[in-house]
Structure 1
Amino acid sequence: MKLLKQFGIILIFTFLGEVCKYLIPLPIPASIYGLVLLLAALMTRVIQLEQLKEVSAFLIEIMPLMFIPASVGILNTWGVLKGIFIPIVIITVVTTVFVMVVTGRVTQLVIRMDKRRKS
């Protein structure tokens, strides 16, 4: 029952993200609105981290299963993708490396700022 309550909280923020997408005419996905609202609720302590801890761990554990439908979809459209496969692979590798580098640099910056603040 606890997992259902926690999952319900996440669904409420997902719904609020959909409402924001409907009301705000910006090209931002509804899921991003929902994540920002959930982050704001966590930072303002409207929602406590403990209220979402178990369901978050569960969703992270099953995340690989969520990629199966996308993989099957790619296999079904192979005829269309065959002609542009090499550019897609190059773009994917370059952007993945770029995201990893930027994420690492931002993480290092946050760690340095946290150390300065503590000392």
Structure 2
Amino acid sequence: MIGTLAIILGFQLVGEVASRALALPLPGPVVGLILLVGSCLLRPALADRIRPATMGLLQHLSLFFVPAGVGIVAHWELLRTHGMGLALAVMGSTVLAIAAGALAFTLVARWTGSEDPSALKDTSDE
């Protein structure tokens, strides 16, 4: 399991170095994950080797939320002071993001001529 974790962390390190060296707009762990997925597709034996450890990590994924809970407790006074503003900002940005997604979908549907709901039917049986 330690070897598998070293592989995963190695890909994260390579992604971090590549992201910073190439000034990529993606965080290093995302670049590392893309490289890991690509490597697993090219070499299925790698995917088989890391599968047990990754499944173990996924079973305990809830533990990764503990630092967020500690952060809430550590900054409780700040949250009590500005909590309502933060909640309104989160809710407002969520509504705006949903509206922007719906608008983008509508515009793309118009541009592609797919406004008619019947155009989305499965035509493979014709």
- The interval holding the TM-score normalised by the smaller chain is 0.5 to 0.7
Distance 1:16 1:48, change over 3 A: same
2:12 pairs with 5, 11, 14, which one? 14
Query: What RMSD in Å do the two structures reach over aligned CA positions?
Result: 3.0
Contact 1:41–1:47 (8 Å) recurs in 2: no
Moved over 6 A (4+): none
Higher RCO by CA contacts (8 Å cutoff, separation 6 or greater): 1
- Match for residue 37 of structure 2? 39
SS in 1 for 2:23: coil
Q: Counterparts of 1:45 and 1:84 in 2: how far apart (Å)?
A: 50
Unaligned stretches of 5+ residues in structure 2 = 99-126
Deviation at residue 87 of structure 1 after TM alignment? 4.6
- So what's the TM-score if we normalise by structure 1? 0.66
Match of 2:24 in 1: 26
Larger Cα-atom Rg = 2
Q: How many residues get paired?
A: 99
Q: Are the equivalent residues in 2 in contact too, given 1:13–1:38 (CA < 8 A)? A: yes
Deviations 1:25-82 (A, max 9, x none): 1332111111111111112226532111110011112221121122111111122222
Q: Please tell me whether residue 5 in structure 1 is matched to residue 36 in structure 2.
A: no
Corresponding residue number in structure 2 for 1:107? none
For 1:1-119, what aligned pairs fall within 5 Å after superposition? Answer: 3-45=1-43, 48-89=46-87, 91=90, 95=94
TM-score by length of 2: 0.63
